[in-house]
Structure 1
Amino acid sequence: MVSTAKNFLASLTAEQRASVVFPFEDDERFFWHYIPSADIPKRYDRPRKGLTLSEMTSHQKALASALLSAGLSQQGFIKTTTIMSLEDILRIMEKDTAGRRNPERYHFSIFGEPSAEGTWAYRIEGHHVSLHFTVVKGKATGNPTFLGSNPGEVREGPRAGLRVLGAEEDKGRALMTALTPEQRKVALVAEKAYADILTERSRKAALAGQPSGLLESKMTPAQRKLLAVLIDEYIENLPGELAEQRRQRVKEAGLNVYFAWAGVIEKGGPHYYRVQSPTFLIEYDNTQNNANHIHSVWRDFEDDFGVDLLKEHYTSAPKEHGHDPHK
């Protein structure tokens, strides 16, 4: 991450660098959304910040791609870049001539100065992609991670049959259909699927009330294996060290993990699911555009935006470091 970020920054002009670099403490680091960039000003009266791929030269794009790759596994990189490419399909489907749909309208931002010993972060974001990485004294974290897909399944044209997040859908449904009728009654928390993921773009992941759905401890060994396969699909979007952090969260939770479903169980209907433990949350929905538009996210209740990593750093830092761990 450090080397790819430094190489990317070194390729930029002074003007481009001003669009990319923000102070680490800047509140901008916590601003995130998964709607198209063209819709941000209308909704929030401000632009989405950062330098877009469309504003880069060919060699700068290659270095930006390397930075994207540094935070993802091969699986995650393929999913993310394929999601970006769906903008071309939407442009054709919607006859967009205003540039709202653009596979190069993805924004790169860096917070602080990349270094092996310092504290810094970076964000890569645009329609249906919102990736956040924080590095503190050589330790990295990669939460939250949002990936979406519109269309969920390409149904016409040369790319017909493409399902970027098909595994997320199929593995969730495989677990739901493996439940007994009695278990399904517990897992089904709403007859109608929610319009979007419930946490949306909240700065801190939170769901009102106690977790609902079917507790993992009430599942059979075979059902637990299906749940593990589903969770792994989200874990394995990140590379080794970051994936291992997520596996540790799962291990900490033990059997205290809830699986909840809302909406239609059969393929093709609007549906939603979540996997929730005391430490992490997975949300997925496919309701928009006649249930052909997917949103999915991994949130960490303690360490979104590296908050837990920073707390650990400030607590162990000497007093002259200038940070109060209680603030």
Structure 2
Amino acid sequence: MINSSIIVLVIMGLFSFHTHSQGDHALRFLRSLDEGQKQKVLLEFGDQSRDRWHYLPGASWPREGLQLLEMEQAQQELFFDLLRYSLSEAGYGKTRKILELEAILSEIENSPDYRHPGKYFVTFYGNPEKDDPWAWSFEGHHLSLNFTVLGGTISMAPRFMGANPATIRSGPKKGDRVLAAEEDLAYRLLEELQPSQRRIAVFRESPFSDILSRNEPGTAPLEPAGIRMKELDAGQQEILSDLIYEYISVMPETLAVKRMERLREEDFGEIMFGWA
């Protein structure tokens, strides 16, 4: 029984969005900050840290920006309003649950200083009131969300969401799984494959120690591995399509639907599902 997986599926890419509205949400948050907080959170668009992203805990990876724990409650609420506007309901829910997992890890590991849901950093590159382009990020353990705004276009990349623990084993939220849909759809597709298809899809018998692209500021095309969409039957294609959409659906629904339509118009049959 193969029980570990790695899935590389979707690049979020560029999409049109109500950038003025996102800018308005950003400005409401920024205007709530005092001067000391603004000095931490506002950097030049060209600052080198904009390309230095990671999904390690805040104590393990030096970051610029303002931590949640450095904000007052009202300021946090204004930031989360921006985040809620920028993501789908599902994407926002997953993000908040990833933060909650840090508190659970803190209890499991007895490491309140290392594991802390307040040690997630908010950083702005450029000023949304006057600059074009500008960008912002929200980042910490198992989470990296990056938005770059240029005119009426936004790039939501890179994006990383992870979960540790994958399944909560005890306590009031026992059994909860933040990334349950992604995992379940991938396993379901693997189980639906015929032996000949599985031999193509499973390209490695042991999992990788990390995501293949790591935290590089740029990525090169990966070596082709796995089974192509066009090599699947209709039912299998539907599962893979649902899996792809699960990743895309972190962005607001209307944009996710458009992104999926664009994928279908391109070389949809060449998308590959690989398992290690």
Structure 1 180/52 Cα, relative in aligned 2: closer, same or farther at 3 Å? Answer: same
**Are 1:24 and 2:45 an aligned pair?**
yes
What is the count of residue pairs matched by the alignment? 254
Q: Which amino acid aligns with 1:144?
A: P
**Cα drift, residue 244 of structure 1:** 4.4
Structure 1 118/240 Cα, relative in aligned 2: closer, same or farther at 3 Å? Answer: farther
Q: Which amino acid aligns with 2:77?
A: A
The residue aligned with 1:301 is none
**Are 1:107 and 2:121 an aligned pair?**
yes
**Cα drift, residue 115 of structure 1:** 4.5
**Cα drift, residue 152 of structure 1:** 0.2
Gaps of 5+ in 1: 41-46, 263-327
SS in 1 for 2:122: strand
Distance 1:32 1:175 in 2: 31
Distance 1:10 1:197 in 2: 37
The residue aligned with 1:11 is 32
Gaps of 5+ in 2: 1-21
SS in 1 for 2:104: helix
More strand by share: 1
2:161 to 127, 144, 147: 147
**Are 1:229 and 2:250 an aligned pair?**
no
**Cα drift, residue 70 of structure 1:** 2.1
Q: Which amino acid aligns with 2:157?
A: N
Could you tell me the TM-score, scaled by structure 1's length?
0.75
1:142·1:242 contact (CA, 8 Å) conserved in 2? no
1:72-106 alpha-carbon deviations (Å, 9 max, x no partner): 10000000001101111111100114x11111111
Could you tell me the TM-score, scaled by structure 2's length?
0.88
1:130 to 128, 135, 144: 144
2:98·2:163 contact (CA, 8 Å) conserved in 1? yes
Distance 1:72 1:49 in 2: 23
Distance 1:245 1:121 in 2: 22
The residue aligned with 1:69 is 84
1:172-206 alpha-carbon deviations (Å, 9 max, x no partner): 11111111000000001001111111111111123
Q: Which amino acid aligns with 2:83?
A: L
**Cα drift, residue 141 of structure 1:** 2.1
Distance 2:155 2:170 in 1: 38
The residue aligned with 2:176 is 162
Structure 1 196/112 Cα, relative in aligned 2: closer, same or farther at 3 Å? Answer: same
1:19·1:50 contact (CA, 8 Å) conserved in 2? yes
**Cα drift, residue 250 of structure 1:** 4.8
SS in 2 for 1:237: coil
SS in 2 for 1:192: coil
Alignment of 1:1-327 (within 5 A): 1-40=22-61, 47-97=62-112, 99-115=113-129, 118-209=132-223, 211-240=224-253, 242-244=255-257, 246-247=259-260, 248-262=262-276
Q: Which amino acid aligns with 2:236?
A: Q
Q: Structure with the greater relative contact order (CA < 8 A, sep ≥ 6): 1 or 2? A: 2
Distance 1:155 1:177 in 2: 25
Distance 2:266 2:131 in 1: 28
**Cα drift, residue 139 of structure 1:** 1.7
Identity over the aligned pairs, expressed in percent? 39
Q: Which amino acid aligns with 1:75?
A: A
1:91-134 alpha-carbon deviations (Å, 9 max, x no partner): 1100114x111111110011112159831111000111100111
